[in-house]
Structure 1
Amino acid sequence: MHDHPDRRSGQLDTRRACAVDLLDHVVLAILCSTLLYSVPFPQPSWLHRTEVTSTTEIDVTATIRTPRVSVCMPVYNALPLIESTIESVLAQTFTDFEILIRDDGSIDGTREWLEERYGGDPRFRLRYNSQNYDVGGQYNLLFHEARGDYILKLDADDIILPNLLARLVAQAERLDADFVGAAYEWLDMTDGSQRRPASQEELMDGLLEDAARAILIDNPYSLCFSIWRRSLLPAIERDGQYVLHTETCDWEAQLRMALAGARFATVTDVLGLYRLHGHNRSSRPQRQLRSVVRDTLPYWFERLELAVGKATLGDFIKRLLAQYLRGLVRGRSALDREILIAFARLLGRRPRRPDRCIDGMWRRDLIVPPSGYDSPFSQRS
């Protein structure tokens, strides 16, 4: 049985109408697609998604940001002062930094406080020692782990002003300096008074002349308010370490840099506050003197003679001895046989190198590494 002609005509008209509608949709889709790809507005991610296959190489190191500055902070029983110290770093106008904190076995809750407060902050890298390594050991580990172009070693009880990093980095770049130190003031925690160290009175803004002599005799900088290039590390390493384990490792680290030929520069504006609270290492002058004449000067004696001259080094040692003897007469110093023997050896130009050598210079009365200790420095690539 055949369809009626009128029915066949109606079906044909319906098919034609559907075809026209389909053609209209295709044309509309093409126009929309053309506009979508030609108009400069943000496209959804699915339009430019990259298909990752098994042969695609992914640079995972590209996701690890290298900061301009590594703020290295050795910590031990630092509550409550550490909070304001960290906040002074976070308040910096120069923000391209990481904060690398290494806790040396605190027992006052410092570790727990750090984890709770900053454990999830990507700017922080928190490290914890299983035992106490003392200040020198902390420095060595922190410097080894730093990633920044510059290093700022900041103690957990000091304050840096908001523009310190910006000023020091700018000065380093402008003068092509390896080390830039800022002026600072002592802040007495008992009465709130501030005063500037006498060693900074003659500092001039700009490059420091005869750095080895200036660091040895005047000690004008604090490592806490100075930045230095991480590229100096290979030049200052000796016996597998970057600093000795002594009471004066800040000063000794600067001596290393000066003897390595680093260019020192100064910013004479006060950019830091060194808080005095009775527990600072600087409040133990006799222990510091013992460290200088028994450890640091014997360790660098030959290099210092070449850098500053025998006469200058000899005069410096005699001046230290005179200060110590005046302290004895006035009752400010105690008689220390070890200090007197060290002076005699230095003045006789027969210094004895520090007497404990285990994987570098480890002082027996400061820190001895545990049995089987594996130094990260001796195997550094």
Structure 2
Amino acid sequence: MPVYALEPEQHCWSEELRGLAAERLAPLTGEAAPGRLNRPLVAELGRLGLLARVVPAPVPEPAPDGKGPDSVSTVDLCILRESLARVTTEAETALALQGLGAGPLVEAGTTPQRARWLPPLASGAAVAAFALSEPQAGSDAAALTLTAEPDGAGRHRLDGTKTWISNAPEADVYTVFARTGEAPGAHGITAYLVPADRPGLRGEPLDMLSPHPLGTVEFEGVPVTEDDRIGPAGGGFRLAMRTLNRFRPSVGAFAVGMAGAALDASLHHADERRAFGGPLRRQQSVAHTLAEMATRTEAARTLVYAAAAACDRGDPDTARRSAMAKLFATETAQYVVDSAVQLHGASALRRGHLLEHLYREVRAPRIYEGATEVQRTLIAKELYR
């Protein structure tokens, strides 16, 4: 399998994205309190046409395989996420969360659902959330217990709790996964599109280390109908996994972007900072650390884009390659950011410093969308297929 390399026009697009992020997006960061939804930033992502890359315009009913005909390529998604993350992780995360929340709708939504919600989600006028995780169903997502019980009037009532939900409780619409059958595990789970103004739905924010918006959402008899269902009854878990699988390599791209930002800052600091009679970079231990940071970052980038290209081709080993990319890139980013903090010393721990921000941001991707341990288990299983 050849190593994937970006084409010259893709490099140019990446540079353009970084310029846009610096000029138009970075000034809007911090418009909301930490852990709360930054609507001005989301709206600007929409005005720049970037949200439309992850939330394509309404199209006819999706194909029987559930793949939306206008889905953005995984490689382009990775370029987008890495480029934004090099400049502003807040903008990158806002874009990614919108794509994740709208993912099931893009893949399997009905024509009326898509016509109603995709335009405002693409413009940034509305915000979506992907509501899968529960207090006792995180990595083991198939263990979810939120129920959708028939009420005898042709509707279902949602009861239960979702937690660690990105963009909650401020999202305008939720893609919710609920148990509708008696079958255990992944069977009997159905997806619903639930507007935030439905009676019985309430939420509260969570105060987390990671600075992006996360919350808990309570469902107390929230009514849903067949018109709210996304995809077939009982097909919700497969839809959730397809959505997560599509985004998994791009989580690695987000991590590579953070690693790149930390590396850039460290190269500048080691060149400018004088210690022991010369630039810090002349210290062998510092030079070797920079070399290790750069090598691991480049290796992670190669794995990410190779996995993304495999996804776009539909290669049979996509699951293994995506898991490897997500695993290695997120672990690498943790190492690179930690090393950058060490090289900078106490200044990097000051509130508001780039590395202080990255140090808090970089930890979560090793857990969400499949923790490091889950990726290793998946890789091992794929090796024996």
Report the TM-score when normalising by structure 1.
0.25
More helix by proportion, 1 or 2? 2
Structure of larger gyration radius: 1
